[in-house]
Structure 1
Amino acid sequence: MITVLVVDDQVLIRAGLAALISAAPGLEVVGQAANGQEAVALAATTHPDVILMDIRMPGLDGVRATERILAASGTPPRILILTTFDLDEYVYAALRGGASGFLLKETTPQRLLAAIQTVAEGDLLFAPTVTRRLIEAYTRSDRNPAWSPPDLSPLTARELEVLRLVARGMTNGEIADNLILSEATVKTHINRTMTKLNLCSRAQAVVAAYEAGLVIPRSSA
């Protein structure tokens, strides 16, 4: 049974999501929160497998709630961000904080349920092309002068190669075919990379690769 916490400040949306999820086999709603503060508190007491997290909420927003939940959890839940394309900067911040992906609010019920299953199994939700679009848009924007790129020096040449392909949106199977490796070996390289860079999700690995210049954003939008 996959347990889910639903977070949204609009009561009708929150109730509708909870009803949909509760009716699906293999899924159980363990709580509903109307804002980020409630989400942090409920996550600590209900220990959900997946949190469906809205971005724009009064008080503590979804990005900061995501960061607090993941920082406080020994076994962190998978977090799906509810968003729209005109909030790219918020989505990027959530991914950098460790979220497992995002959903558009117009997502169909079938895709929502499939997405919950996907992230519960440890995979990312969003399509690689969408991931790149978000990160490229962010990396073209002005940065704070105090910002410094992540240090990739602890990585081996093979780990850098695998990270570069991860950032280009390839699956483990595609990377294995490209480098003539087994999927298990690719997964080992990714896990070691995440450990060395102190990352908690594949999404963070993609962000780190772009920020460090391992992958150069395309000039077009």
Structure 2
Amino acid sequence: MIVRDSLTSLIDAQPDMKVVAGIGSAGKAMEACRTSSPDLVLMDVRTEHNENGIVAADKLRTVFPEIKVIIMTGMPEITYLDSARKAGVDSFLYKNVHSETLLTTIRSTMEGYGTFPGKSPSVLPGNLTFTKTEINVLKLVCKAKSRKEIAKELIMSEGSVKAVITNILNKTGYDSIMKFAVYAVSNGYILPDD
């Protein structure tokens, strides 16, 4: 609530901007757009009741293609950036930006220019990056799926799943995929339910 109030004050203080609605729930975004007719929606990835802002943005883009959407997050989850792009959002920001960067991004987004970071932030050793397959396997490991279940869900052989897990362990230096899964979840790099 404090963050939303601060953003509202910052935006309303601009001569060329006005906040027409401030809500805490991604689930209420559609109704707020119907009643308030905004030109742009600034939405957090995680809203009240643990709702997913990217999913809500995807729905908004379908129903209101003329509304610009900027997604913000303070979490380093490694799939948010790609998910936001797939949802068709116009811009994406991490919350550690200065207020001037936020305001510039809002203005440039309204002018038709998208702003996206080059990559998700990483504090993992060596700024590790994972392939899409590694991320998919890791998400299922974080859901306590067995190799057999992962293979079935991703339409892979168990040997291929084992090879992907070995690659993840080699990249991270961990000796157990479960230890790394606990680390990744506890630090916000993987949110199994997304």
TM-score normalised by the chain length of structure 2: 0.61
Choose which of 54, 57, 67 in structure 2 pairs with 1:66. 57
Match of 1:86 among 69, 72, 76: 76
- Residue deviations 1:166-221 (CA, integer Å, cap 9, x gap): xxxxxxxxxxxxxxxxxxxxxxxxxxxxxxxxxxxxxxxxxxxxxxxxxxxxxx9x
Distance in 2 of aligned mates of 1:99 and 1:140: 23
Query: For 1:105-120, what aligned pairs fall within 5 Å after superposition?
Result: 105-120=95-110
Deviation at 1:67, TM superposition (A): 1.2
What secondary structure, in the 3-state scheme, does the structure 2 residue paired with 1:123 have? coil
CA distance in 2, matches of 1:89, 1:54: 15
Q: SS of the counterpart of 1:31?
A: coil
| 3-state SS in 2 of match to 1:63 | helix
1:68-107 deviation per Cα after TM superposition (whole angstroms, max 9, x unaligned): 111111x431111111362221232121010112111121
The alignment's C-alpha RMSD in Å is 2.8
Structure 2, gaps ≥5 residues long: 123-128, 137-152, 156-170, 172-194
1:19 to 9, 14, 18: 9
Aligned residues: 135
Tell whether the 8 Å contact from 2:105 to 2:115 is kept in structure 1 after alignment. yes
- Largest Rg, 1 or 2: 2
The Cα of 1:18 is off from its aligned counterpart by: 0.5
Query: Take 2:72 and 2:130, find their aligned partners in 1: how far apart are those partners?
Result: 19
Q: TM-score, normalised by structure 1?
A: 0.54
Residues 51 and 38 of structure 1: CA distance in aligned 2, closer, same or farther (over 3 Å): same
2:91 aligned residue (94, 101, 111): 101
Asked if residue 32 in structure 1 is aligned to residue 25 in structure 2, the reply is no
**Alignment check: 8 A CA contact 1:53 1:82 kept:** yes
| Aligned-partner Cα distance in 2 for 1:88–1:102 | 13
> Aligned partners of 2:91 and 2:98: how far apart in 1?
16
Share of identical aligned residues, percent?
24
Structure 2 contact 81–119 (Cα < 8 Å) conserved:
no
> Which residue type is aligned with residue 29 of structure 2?
A
In structure 2, what is the Cα distance between the partners aligned to 1:29 and 1:44?
Answer: 15
Could you tell me how far apart the structure 1 residues matched to 2:58 and 2:130 are? 22
The answer to whether the Cα contact below 8 Å between 1:22 and 1:29 also exists between their aligned partners in 2 is yes
For the residue of structure 1 that corresponds to 2:22, the secondary structure is strand
Quick check: 2:74–2:95 contact (8 Å CA) kept in 1? yes
Shift, 1:117, TM fit: 0.3
